[in-house]
């Protein structure tokens, strides 16, 4: 058995784990990151695309904002299309100048991994059977992460464990029964997403509600479009040849349909929709952050931003512990993070409700949701609420 020691043992090299490790390193705190998948898989996983200002600021502060500043697309507005008619929201004007930046999660991850490896800091890919141990309050044990790598058993002793291992990770699952309270909602639909080598013809993201279902026109760069349509959770991709997807996007986007540019499709996938929170985000010396503790449906573009906000709070608390000898921040971590998470949950649930069709069982509610969106689009006050939440609530 190979034994090692560090200050913070981090499970998961997604945005939460990598940002946490990088921020701790900037403050002279040691960490080891254990990731189950290989580097190519982690860097290639197509997910989020919209960064709030606080996320951009933190990436800059920890020294990985260079390419983001050069290549990120700054957006000060967003469009909402209802039954084919478009309304532009000047988010920046409504929020005292706040903006969002379009920059793929793949790129954020690549920048963070490159920074970590360039500093020769430990990041273990293909770590198998990672098991958190000895973290319970008063257990008298040293917290540890057991794992296997290349057929050899390892044990990493640490002061704290950060469970940044996503919704399907091992950390939340390893906590004793009853330690957490779960809040969950699933939705009767999913998103079929495509990534296409096609220059986006719209300057803004376009969120569309139509009688045929939701559609989203998004992008990754001046050359790459990212497009989504509402589909069934059990959708069979065989039923969706590319011409049908392009056609459906045009129909749902109405007046904006002509902006859909076809191009080589490099990724197709179905994303289920879920709202989920596990509380509290701490058990003894194990802390949960990001998707390991909560999931939002992607309609509000909040998941990655919440993960980064969590590890900002967690790293603040760990820095306070190591530099000032105070555990006040660690004690307050879960409560601080949770307060903001529920506001993002509410916003993501609201956007999801207003923009999707819930099907014939909910005909009455669907009419109410349609009326709500009509109202929002007609009210400066309601649009300002939407804009404030979309650009990100204060940290």
Choose among 160, 140, 211: nearest CA to 327.
160
Q: Which is nearer to ligand RFL, 49 or 254 (CB)?
A: 49
> CB-side exposure of 204: number of CA atoms within 13 Å?
18
| Interface mask toward ligand PHB for 215-254; x: CB under 6 A | ---x-------x----------------------------
Residue 323 falls in the annotated catalytic set: no
Q: Which is nearer to ligand PHB, 218 or 334 (CB)?
A: 218
What are 162's strand-pairing partners?
10, 287
What are 149's strand-pairing partners?
152
Nearest distance in Å: CB 114, ligand PHB: 22
- Residue from 106, 299, 315, 353 touching ligand PHB (CB under 6 A): that is 299
Our finding on whether 37 is near ligand RFL (CB under 6 A) is yes
Q: Which is nearer to ligand PHB, 62 or 227 (CB)?
A: 227
Our finding on whether 166 is near ligand RFL (CB under 6 A) is yes
Choose among 344, 266, 334, 262: nearest CA to 306.
344
Report the SS3 class of residue 125. Answer: coil
Report the SS3 class of residue 10. Answer: strand
Closest-approach residue to ligand PHB (CB) = 49
The residues near 334 (Cβ < 8 Å, ≥ 6 apart) are 279, 280, 281, 282
The CA-atom distances, in angstroms, between 53 and each of 227, 260, 286, 339, 361 are: 23, 28, 29, 19, 39
Our finding on whether 47 is near ligand RFL (CB under 6 A) is yes
Choices 64-72, 257-265, 296-304, 335-343; region in contact with ligand RFL by CB under 6 A: 296-304
Q: Which is nearer to ligand PHB, 48 or 387 (CB)?
A: 48
Residue 75 falls in the annotated catalytic set: yes
Catalytic choice (54, 302, 321, 356): 302
Catalytic choice (143, 298, 321, 356): 298
Residue 207 falls in the annotated catalytic set: yes
Residue 298 falls in the annotated catalytic set: yes
Nearest distance in Å: CB 86, ligand PHB: 16
Distance, CA of 313 to CA of 337 (rounded, Å): 7
What are 295's strand-pairing partners?
276
Our finding on whether 301 is near ligand PHB (CB under 6 A) is yes
Q: Give the footprint of ligand PHB on residues 326-385 (CB under 6 A).
A: none
The residues near 120 (Cβ < 8 Å, ≥ 6 apart) are none
Our finding on whether 302 is near ligand RFL (CB under 6 A) is yes
Our finding on whether 392 is near ligand RFL (CB under 6 A) is no
8-11 and 31-34: which strand pairing?
Answer: parallel
Report the SS3 class of residue 79. Answer: strand
Choose among 200, 223, 193: nearest CA to 299.
193
Our finding on whether 298 is near ligand PHB (CB under 6 A) is yes
Tell me the three-class secondary structure of 261-315, residue by residue: CCCEEEEEEEEEEEEEEEECCEECCEEECHHHCEECCHHHCCHHHHHHHHHHHHH
Catalytic choice (103, 147, 187, 207): 207
Our finding on whether 134 is near ligand PHB (CB under 6 A) is no
Residue 147 falls in the annotated catalytic set: no
Which residues are near ligand PHB by CB under 6 A? Answer: 48-50, 205, 218, 226, 298-299, 301
Task: Give the active site residues.
Answer: 75, 207, 298, 302, 390
Which residues are near ligand RFL by CB under 6 A? Answer: 11-17, 34-37, 42, 47-50, 105, 127, 130, 164-166, 168-170, 193, 271, 290-291, 298, 301-305, 307
């Amino acid at each position: 058995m190979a034994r090692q020691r560090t200050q913070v043992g981090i499970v998961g090299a997604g945005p939460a784990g990598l940002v946490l490790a990088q921020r701790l390193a900037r403050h002279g705190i040691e960490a080891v990151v254990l990731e189950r998948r290989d580097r190519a898989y982690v860097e290639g996983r197509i997910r989020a695309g919209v960064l709030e200002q606080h996320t951009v600021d933190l990436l800059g502060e920890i020294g990985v904002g260079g390419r983001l500043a050069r290549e990120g697309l700054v957006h000060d507005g967003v469009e909402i299309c209802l039954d084919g008619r478009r309304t532009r929201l000047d988010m920046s004007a409504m929020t005292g100048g706040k903006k969002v930046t379009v920059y793929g999660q793949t790129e954020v991850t690549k920048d963070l991994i490159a920074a970590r490896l360039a500093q020769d800091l430990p990041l273990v890919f293909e770590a198998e059977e990672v098991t958190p141990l000895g973290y319970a309050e008063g257990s008298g044990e040293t917290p540890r992460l057991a794992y296997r790598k290349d057929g050899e058993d390892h044990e990493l002793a640490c002061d704290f464990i950060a469970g940044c291992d996503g919704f399907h990770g091992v950390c939340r699952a390893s906590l004793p029964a009853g330690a957490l309270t779960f809040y969950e909602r699933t939705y009767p639909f999913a998103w079929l997403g495509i990534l296409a080598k096609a220059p986006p013809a719209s300057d803004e993201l376009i969120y569309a509600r139509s009688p045929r279902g939701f559609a989203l026109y998004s992008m990754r760069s001046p050359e790459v479009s990212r497009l989504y349509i509402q589909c069934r959770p059990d959708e069979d991709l065989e039923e969706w040849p590319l011409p049908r997807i392009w056609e459906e996007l045009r129909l749902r986007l109405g007046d904006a349909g002509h902006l859909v540019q076809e191009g080589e499709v490099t990724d197709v996938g179905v994303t289920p929709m879920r709202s989920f929170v596990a509380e509290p985000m701490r058990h003894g010396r194990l802390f949960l952050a990001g998707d390991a503790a909560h999931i939002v449906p992607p309609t509000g573009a909040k998941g990655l931003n919440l993960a980064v906000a969590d590890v900002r709070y967690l790293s603040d608390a760990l820095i306070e512990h190591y530099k000032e000898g105070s555990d006040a921040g660690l004690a307050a971590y879960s409560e601080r993070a949770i307060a903001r998470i529920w506001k993002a949950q509410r916003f993501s649930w609201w956007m999801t409700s207003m923009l999707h069709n819930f099907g014939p069982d909910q005909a009455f509610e669907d009419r109410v949701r349609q009326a709500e969106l009509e109202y929002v689009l007609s009210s400066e006050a309601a649009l300002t609420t939407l804009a404030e939440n979309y650009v990100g609530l204060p940290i």
